[in-house]
Amino acid sequence: MSVALGTTRPLPVRTTPIGDPGNLLASLPRTPAPYAWIRHGEGLVGWGEAARVNVPAGPGRFAWARRWLGDLFGDARMDTYLDGPAGTPGVGPVAFGSFTFDENAAGSVLVVPQAVLARRSGHAWLTTIGDARLEPLTPIRDPGRISYGDGSLSAPEWEHVVAQAARRIRDGELEKVVLARDLLATAERPIDVRLLLSRLAQRYPECYTFSVAGFVGATPELLIRRTGQEIESLVLAGTTPRGSGPEDDVARGAALFASAKDRHEHECAIASVRETLAPLCSSLQTPDEPELLMLPNVQHLASHVTGRLADGASVLDVVAAMHPTAAVGGTPTDTAIKVIRELEGMDRAGYAGPVGWIDAHGDGEWGIALRSGIVRGRRARLFAGGGIMGDSDPASELAEAQAKFRVMQYALEG
């Protein structure tokens, strides 16, 4: 654990209401790893580090993280906290976080930025810790030409893994498993994360554009949002590429909605979320039928789940209960995780893990880190994947993963 500022706790926190700051991402200074959570222009951006911790791996990591945050935020000196829009999630000190997909893998991190600029529901505010202030802006530099290379597995090798997984499903070992693959990108010049964030937020406004400690992406899947006792989740499972035009889009969407394979995959995901959230909630609503969510590159079967917490659990408690969902792991989940570890041939790091933010009241928003990549200097490691069923075709699954890679390829290339 590290606490920055050259000082010890308690953290001196100041939240000040401000006028509309305009494009939040345009206010980010050039840093190796800015922080962001943006959808439709609203959300939070941050820079600097007031505190940072590498969360120990293991089954108790979310509880450990909550205790660490409780100690840190409980000691914070929030003398001017109520100067902001009181009761609005994200007012006061905020921690951005990314947790690895596999609970046994190292790499989960929580960071409390020195400065957070936010806008939500007609309010805007700036939270600073210590002597943090707005940094001078510098021009965003294009990374230049991008070249790509195989990640952990080549395309034919990954197709072979998909075939193995489908056979194990047909043999009755499990119902579904989600397999991921990676792609390596190298740029001529260092990659400015601000450029990726700007492109992602503009091209995919329906998604949650995020950046946490060099892990960048735009995910369409909201794992959980907690506002007081109210919670919301968006479940995505079942995917088809966009068509060549409006008529093709409609036809592909209709085929996706009618696909027995994709509907079963979606039903598995909804059942997993319902089973997980029911014990935590005094009320829970799940739709009878999914809807179609159309993004610039793909269409998904989507279902909104809402509920009310029974016992005042923190958003991290709900994240702990929900992750991994069937949508990113498989069914049964324990068996699917075992198959992923045996077949996938790579460390997912934060891909398909929880990513988001939490405030001092336990409110926050956490997504599933899809359509993402890890940026380090001139290099980026991109991730994509899809749900495998017994009748999955390896070539089709490869094409779906390649379609999902295009999100981050667009961010890099424009």
Single-letter amino acid, residue 25: L
**Distance separating alpha carbons of residues 42 and 361, to the nearest angstrom:** 20
- The catalytically annotated residue of 103, 159, 221, 365 is 221
pLDDT mean values, one per 10 residues, the chain (414 residues): 50 88 92 91 95 96 96 74 61 95 97 94 89 76 96 96 97 95 97 97 95 96 92 89 89 92 87 89 92 87 92 90 89 94 95 96 95 97 94 93 93 94
Q: CA-CA distance, 413 to 187, in Å (whole number)?
A: 10
Tokens of 403: 């379609």
Is 275 noted as a catalytic residue in this protein? no
Sign of CA dihedral 283, 299, 373, 163: positive
pTM greater than 0.75: yes
Question: Which tens digits make up the pLDDT trace of 161-191?
Answer: 999 999 999 999 999 999 999 999 999 999 9
Q: Any catalytic annotation for residue 247? A: no
The third-level CATH classification (topology) of the domain covering 2-136+148-413 is Anthranilate synthase (3.60.120)
| Residue tagged active-site, from 176, 397, 400, 404 | 176
Q: How far apart are CA 408 and CA 199, in angstroms?
A: 9
**CB-based contact 302:215 (threshold 8 Å):** no
pLDDT digits (tens, 9 = 90+) for 148-158: 999 999 999 99
pLDDT tens-digit map of 287-325? 989 999 988 888 999 999 999 998 878 999 999 999 998
The values of phi and psi at residue 68, to 5°, are -60, -45
What mean pLDDT value characterizes the chain?
A: 90
- Bond before 59 cis per omega within 30 degrees: no
CA dihedral 96, 100, 101, 106 (to 10 degrees): -160
User: Quick check: 4 and 48 in contact, CB under 8 A?
Assistant: yes
- Domain boundary assignment for the chain: 2-136+148-413
